[in-house]
């Protein structure tokens, strides 16, 4: 068990659905299927390249999916396992909710992500994108929709990256069964 997430949220921790709170303090496993899609044209080319470098499958489709949530030191670890690839993210809290953010490091990409707890869910708000140590101006950062919420005791999530003029780069989403560690 770790107090990392609860300490970052402070009183705001109670705004999250109880299952989300348990997963983020005790760790656990999420299993099920995800649907992965890419845009079309240039957006698809960019989305596939980006996804490949981050650890997503190369082709659109429905995939078996497992996420293992754990803690080490002052980090929250998310290991996302697809059939032939793995995406590992390290989340480090900075400051405190609601003004602080989480630093997510996945491969060569770092994102600074604020949080909104709308409807008991955890909605990411992208603040800064850093690629290979270079802060990208907002105009070059893709628009991000990313959240997790509980619906009918299932863990539902969406991650979608897009550019207004190109459309969707990559979108993956699922409704997963959650198993909280004891």
Q: Tokens 């979608």 belong to which residue? A: 160
DSSP secondary structure letters along 51-69: HHHHT--SS-EEEEEEEEE
Q: Are strands 122-131 and 101-106 parallel, antiparallel or unpaired?
A: unpaired
Encode the chain (182 residues) as per-residue pLDDT tens digits.
Answer: 899 999 999 999 999 999 999 999 999 999 999 999 999 999 999 999 999 989 999 999 999 999 999 999 999 999 999 999 999 999 999 999 999 999 999 999 999 999 999 999 999 999 999 999 999 999 989 999 999 999 999 999 999 999 999 999 999 999 999 999 98
CA distance 65 to 112: 25
pTM over 0.85? The answer is: yes
**What length does the chain have?**
182
DSSP state of 45: H
Domain boundaries along the sequence of the chain: 4-180
Task: Write 63-66 long-range contacts (CB < 8 A, 24+).
Answer: 63/33, 63/34, 63/36, 64/32, 64/33, 65/30, 65/31, 65/32, 65/33, 65/34, 65/174, 65/176, 66/29, 66/30, 66/31
- CA–CA distance, 91 with 65 (Å, rounded to integer): 20
Domain spanning 4-180, CATH architecture: Beta Barrel (2.40)
Helix (H) or strand (E) holding 7: helix 4-9
Say how far apart CA 54 and CA 87 lie, in whole Å: 6
């Amino acid at each position: 068990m770790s107090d990392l997430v609860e300490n970052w949220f402070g009183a705001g921790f109670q705004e999250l659905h109880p299952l989300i709170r348990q997963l983020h303090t005790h760790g656990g496993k999420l299993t099920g299927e995800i649907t992965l899609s890419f845009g079309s044209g240039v957006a698809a080319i960019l989305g596939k390249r980006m996804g490949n470098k981050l650890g997503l499958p190369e082709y659109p489709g429905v995939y078996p999916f497992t996420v293992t949530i754990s803690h080490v030191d002052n980090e929250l670890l998310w290991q996302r396992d697809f059939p032939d690839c793995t995406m590992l993210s390290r989340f480090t809290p900075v400051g405190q909710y609601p003004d602080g953010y989480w630093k997510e490091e996945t491969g060569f990409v770092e994102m600074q992500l604020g949080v909104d707890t709308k409807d008991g869910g955890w909605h990411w708000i992208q603040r800064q994108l850093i690629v290979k140590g270079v802060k990208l101006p907002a105009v070059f950062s893709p628009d991000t929709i990313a959240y997790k919420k509980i619906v009918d005791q299932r863990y539902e999530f969406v991650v979608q990256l897009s550019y207004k003029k190109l459309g969707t780069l990559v979108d993956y989403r699922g409704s997963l069964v959650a198993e909280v560690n004891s």
